[in-house]
């Protein structure tokens, strides 16, 4: 399973097909297109200028080298105002489908999960009567160290204990902390009645590095290297991670 975060992957082949179709339509209807405009700007070709000047084979407004119209018998066609719009659409199609940085493929990987948090009521429990709650921390990746656990509640509840500590938690192991929840002096807040568990810990940077180096889970080399650089920087600083879980009583 790839550890993917936000991914935007525009259908580039379809964008190219759409761009070519718009260009062809402009050439057929208006004898003009974004490609021709760029070509005539960079390297004017008299044959193309002559081909573009007539309208449906009739004499029309012809343009001289100084871009001043010469006399003709046919004015601009009624769809002339539509032309700039279609040219703009063609330009936007090219911009989106032909490699603009904002439209390029972007794949963001996230780090593998280090731990899992959960809280489960024990026996008969309600916000009005209180009761027991089991808080559980499970290491998912490597050995976690220096775990500090903090608990807080909505104003209508109380919890004991407020703080817990675990020196070390091996991969796959779980630590269970029994909590006693009672009725508090206040009222539920906008989120209702809840208990929040927050854990600060030192992750196993060696195991994170091993997991991120796996090309099956992280196939994009540049993204894989980006995560490895972050891991290396955090390991040198001995950065601690934080995870949180909120249990809603109602």
* Residue 92, pLDDT score: 62
* 230 vs 3: CA distance, rounded Å: 16
* 235 vs 105: CA distance, rounded Å: 30
Average pLDDT over residues 191-210: 95
* 55 vs 76: CA distance, rounded Å: 8
β partners of residue 20: none
Confidence of residue 72 (pLDDT cuts 50, 70, 90): very low
* 108 vs 196: CA distance, rounded Å: 29
Tell me the torsion sign for CA atoms 32, 37, 38, 40. positive
Any idea which residue has 């004017």 for tokens? 44
Give percent of the chain with pLDDT exceeding 90.
Answer: 48
Q: Give the count of beta carbons closer than 10 Å to the beta carbon of residue 188.
A: 16
Identify which of 60-74, 103-117, 136-150 has the greatest average pLDDT. 136-150
* 74 vs 53: CA distance, rounded Å: 11
Distances from the Cα of 160 to the Cαs of 118, 134, 175, in angstroms?
17, 12, 17
Q: Where are the alpha helices (DSSP H) in 127-197?
A: none
**Alpha-carbon torsion, ordered 92, 97, 102, 104, to 10 deg:** 180
For the stretch 86-108, pLDDT in tens is: 566 656 655 555 444 444 445 67
Any idea which residue has 């807040």 for tokens? 189
Q: Where are the domains of the chain?
A: 4-108, 115-248
For the stretch 163-195, pLDDT in tens is: 999 999 999 999 999 999 999 999 999 999 999
To the question of domain 115-248 being in CATH 1.10.260.40, the answer is: no
């Amino acid at each position: 399973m790839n550890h993917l975060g936000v991914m935007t992957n525009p259908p580039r082949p379809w964008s190219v097909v759409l761009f070519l179709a718009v260009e062809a339509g402009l050439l057929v209807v208006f004898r003009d297109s974004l490609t021709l405009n760029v070509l005539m700007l960079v390297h004017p070709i008299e044959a193309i200028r002559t081909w573009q000047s007539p309208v449906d084979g009739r004499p029309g407004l012809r343009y001289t080298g100084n871009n001043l119209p010469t006399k003709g018998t046919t004015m601009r066609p009624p769809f002339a105002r539509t032309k700039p719009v279609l040219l703009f659409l063609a330009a936007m199609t090219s911009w989106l489908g032909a490699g603009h940085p904002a439209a390029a493929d972007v794949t963001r990987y996230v780090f593998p999960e280090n731990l899992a948090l959960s809280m489960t009521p024990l026996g008969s429990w309600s916000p009005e009567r209180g009761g027991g709650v089991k808080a559980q921390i499970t290491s998912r990746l490597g050995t976690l160290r220096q775990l500090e656990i903090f608990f807080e509640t909505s104003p209508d509840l109380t919890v004991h204990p407020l703080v817990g500590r675990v020196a070390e938690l091996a991969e796959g192991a779980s630590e269970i902390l029994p909590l006693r929840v009672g009725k508090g002096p206040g009222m539920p807040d906008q989120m209702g009645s809840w208990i929040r568990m927050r854990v600060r810990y030192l992750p196993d940077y060696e195991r994170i590095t091993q997991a991120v180096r796996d090309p099956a889970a992280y196939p994009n080399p540049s993204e894989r290297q980006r995560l490895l650089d972050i891991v290396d920087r955090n390991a040198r600083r001995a950065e601690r991670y934080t995870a949180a879980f909120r249990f809603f009583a109602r």
